[in-house]
Amino acid sequence: MTTHHEPRRGAAMKDVAMKDRKAVKTASAVRSAASPLPVGRRGLLLGTGGLLATTLLAACGAEPEPPAAPPTGKELAEPTPAQTTEQFEKIIPAVHAVVVEADEARDAAKLAPRVSGSAAEFRTAVYALIAKAEEWAEDLKVPGEALIVPLTSTSAEFPRTAIALVEDSVDGGVPYFMALQQADAKSPYTAWGWAQQAVDVEMPTVPAAAVGSEQVTGDTEGLLMTPAAALALYAKVLTEGDAADADDQLAPNPFQTGTHERIQTERKELNQGVEWDEAATIRETYTVREDELVGLRTDDGGAIVMGTLMSSRRVSIKDGATMRYAEDNKYTKVIGKREFTKEYVRDYGTHVALYIPSADAGGQVQPIGATQTALAATGE
């Protein structure tokens, strides 16, 4: 006996950043009060609503005291940022411009040299999806050209890293954390990912732009856990649920909540009218992309870290069952068929931002941003 099922439109994964677009309209008034941002200590707190910031959209550290003039021939004792705010006010528009140009042409080659790594790879994948179904163009998220807060390392060594909080390109939209890296003195800063700011999450404060921040790596100690371990924990919890976090080290966050809610909704739809998982099972597995990580210290000794997660959401269909999807499903348009008897798989890439407290402060690792991009779909 064959079991036929037709999931409702929208059962497939949606980009978290697309939720509640109506809610983001009120954010523009908030940002107008915060930008341009003076140097000064500002707390960053997000309110409720679909990725809506309801108070200040930036965090700066304490205004540094002007240093006394050093004796001639001697250097200041304190390190200085590798890049100034003025320099990043030129870098961010340059990144925005190449993304817009590449999107208009649907040509990933135009992203170089300002967009690199997984950001360029994800864009290439979306362009391929658009070629098969034009509605995929809605998934092209574009960070804006206005800098809100730069967080730059003080290291004189390369590669240099930075994290910038930048405006959305959509009027009234929600800011992005952007991961930036400079390979050497002759190379420009490139962006390898951007994660949209989370909802209902309290943000850390960061050093003022004139002070700069210490760079952290995957194995940096002195934090609640190393950045590499924090990303691995997040991937594990996204895959297995809260049971994978026995010590409760990961704080609640909207990307995890939304992802798991959508998976459970789709699971129910797949097995509508039959016993639990009798017709099909669904599981999304996340892994950390090891070659992409940027991290910088916050005011309190913690760190903001950005990384890249890869995932596959697999619907495994039981023998004798058939999954039939609606004609307007944009994933099945890519595959070229909408009826499956074995499996149906969607692949994603997600840029994430985490706040890791210092070991002394304790607490939980707090995810503070995420942008997920659909990359491919297959089925048989």
Q: What distance in Å separates the CA atoms of residue 136 and residue 103, rounded to the nearest whole number?
A: 12
Q: What distance in Å separates the CA atoms of residue 232 and residue 258, rounded to the nearest whole number?
A: 19
Residues of the chain below pLDDT 50: 1-78
Position 81 scores a pLDDT of 56
Residue 67 lies in a domain: no
Q: What distances in angstroms separate CA 359 from CA 75, 79, 226, 233, 302, one per listed residue?
A: 32, 24, 10, 16, 8
Residue 303 lies in a domain: yes
**Cα Dmax for the chain:** 89
Residue 329 lies in a domain: yes
Q: How many domains does the chain have?
A: 1
Residue 38 lies in a domain: yes
Residue-by-residue DSSP string for 10-27: T-S---GGGTTGGGGGGH
Residue 244 lies in a domain: yes
Residue 72 lies in a domain: no
Name every residue whose Cβ is closer than 8 Å to that of residue 153 and which is 6 or more positions away in sequence. 81, 82, 160, 161, 162, 212, 213, 214, 215, 296
Position 40 scores a pLDDT of 28
How large is the angle between the packed helices 117-132 and 85-105, nearest 10 degrees?
Answer: 20
DSSP H or E run through 263: helix 254-270
Sheet containing strand 280-297, edge to edge, reads 215-216, 280-297, 303-317, 343-356, 366-379
Position 46 scores a pLDDT of 25
Residue 75 lies in a domain: no
Residue 139, domain extent: 3-62+81-379
Residue 70 lies in a domain: no
